[in-house]
Amino acid sequence: MRIDIVTIFPEVFAPLESSIIGRARKNNLVDIRIWNLRDFVHPEDRHRKVDDAPYGGGRGMVFKCEPLFEAVKKIKEENAGSKVILTTPQGTLFTQEKAVVFSREKGLIIICGHYEGIDERVSSICDEEISIGDYTLTGGELPAMVMVEGVVRLLEGVLPGESPANDSFFSGLLDWPCYTRPEEYNGMKVPEVLLSGNHSRIEEWRKKQALMRTKERRPDLYRAYVERRETREED
């Protein structure tokens, strides 16, 4: 899979060279390329200006459409068929289900928004607009990295075994409680069932704990999980 990221701050993406994502890149399981939007401004613009004041007045600056159109055009010449994603507070919420869908794409082009917004005409070349939450960030660089992390870890060979299927949200539930050595610390003990060696009992305990934790901490997810289960039973 190939992921192209268009940004005015290429240096921000250094973390994508580390940990799981870094190993996946070294093992050629994913090809991640960072593009500087300033490289696509009009050749006569010696200041490499990518933004301008908004028509109609108002505060802040707006990304110009021309460099973004040129950037996407160039990337698609190299990797046709890529899905174009714009990071924006107005977008659809990024979820585990969305990560699964994106992981099945041939390629992704992620445009990092910034400043007060992006010229609305850019939406005409975007397949989807995505937000990572209902809060304000300076730009789309962090959301882009969140999406890359969520997608890449689902690619075949990136994580050992079937570990992604056990992650929180993958089944619609939060993860169960985890413990490791020592068995007791400051009077707090590891649940006996985890020490029993009885794998069927452990699995049953983990499922119950995941249900309880989701119901207590994320009742919205729990309701959605119950509704999906009831729908499957009716079918």
Of the candidates 141, 143, 153, 164, the residue annotated as catalytic is: 153
| Cβ–Cβ < 8 Å for 51, 112 | no
Spatial neighbors of 21 by CB under 8 A, at least 6 apart, are 15, 30, 32, 148, 149, 152
Structure tokens belonging to residue 17: 């060279």
User: Whole-angstrom Cα distance, residue 202 to residue 215?
Assistant: 20
Query: 56 in helix, strand or coil?
Result: coil
Query: 226 in helix, strand or coil?
Result: helix
Q: How far is CA 128 from CA 87, 91, 110, 154, 177, in A?
A: 9, 8, 10, 20, 35
Of the candidates 10, 54, 89, 177, the residue annotated as catalytic is: 89
Of the candidates 105, 116, 128, 149, the residue annotated as catalytic is: 116
| Whether 167 is catalytic | yes
Of the candidates 48, 167, 175, 206, the residue annotated as catalytic is: 167
| Whether 219 is catalytic | no
Phi and psi (nearest 5°) for 2? -115, 135
Per-residue DSSP letter, 139? B
| Whether 116 is catalytic | yes
The residue type of 227 is E
Burial 175-189 (b: 16+ CB within 10 A, else e): bbeeeeeeeeeeeee
| Whether 15 is catalytic | no
What is the set of active-site residues? 89, 116, 153, 167
